[in-house]
Amino acid sequence: MKTNILFLAILLLAGACQPGGGKETSEPAPKTAEEYTLAIIKEVQKVILSTDQQLRAYQPQRLELPAEENQQPRILQLWTEEGNPVKLTVTEANDGRQTAGLSAFYFANKELFFATQPHARFIFIDGKLKYWLDKDWNPLQAPEQGRRDWEQKLLEQAAEYLGLFSDGEKQAPSSQ
């Protein structure tokens, strides 16, 4: 890709952790934990928006998982850069067995840094779930055990879905 998405993601996330967000602005540097949280969320939003805009020009790899009983098949799409995952999307079914929305996983240097599901968003830093947000990007307070459970679940889901693409390439290398 013309602009290295991975470099952009790391640069923006690193800048969000610095006083002043890594750039000079008229906004004062965050001073409280809440202000730092909001600054990080804002930077992640920028990275996601920028990534999505850049990826519009590229065709993802696509897999369709067989439908489970009374459900629609799940559609997975994976965008990569130089063989590394950048974004992975998965259609999600609701209780009515119809497609309810989309889950997405975003990666930088092969590491999950952001995940979204139809009703929540999750920001990872150094492989750990640091911020659990509602669908409107508002931070949620979660019990430590709940946070650890979701962290493990999301990391496992991302690895499982990425593995399906690896398996698909081994079985049908000429499909792309």
The residue extents of the domains of the chain are: 1-176
Taking alpha carbons only, the member of 97, 7, 102 closest to residue 50 is: 7
pTM for the whole structure = 0.78
Low-confidence ranges of the chain (pLDDT < 50): 2-14, 16-17, 20-22, 170-176
Q: What are phi and psi of 148, to 5 degrees?
A: -65, -40
The string of pLDDT tens digits covering residues 56-102 is 999 999 999 887 777 788 899 999 999 999 999 999 876 555 557 89
Taking alpha carbons only, the member of 69, 113, 64, 112 closest to residue 91 is: 64
Are 39 and 52 spatial neighbours (Cβ–Cβ below 8 Å)? no
Residue matched to tokens 């995952």? 85
pLDDT score for 29 = 81
CA atoms in the 13 A half-sphere facing the CB of 116:
16
pLDDT score for 96 = 55
pLDDT score for 159 = 96
Tokens in use for 143? 């019990």
Taking alpha carbons only, the member of 3, 13, 1 closest to residue 108 is: 13
Alpha-carbon gap, residue 130 to 133, rounded angstroms: 10
| Average pLDDT for the chain | 82
pLDDT score for 176 = 30
Tokens in use for 111? 């590491």
pLDDT score for 170 = 41
pLDDT score for 115 = 98
pLDDT score for 25 = 54
DSSP class of 85:
E
What DSSP assignment string belongs to 30-75? P-SHHHHHHHHHHHHHHHHHHHHHHHTTSPPEEEEEPPPTTSPPEE
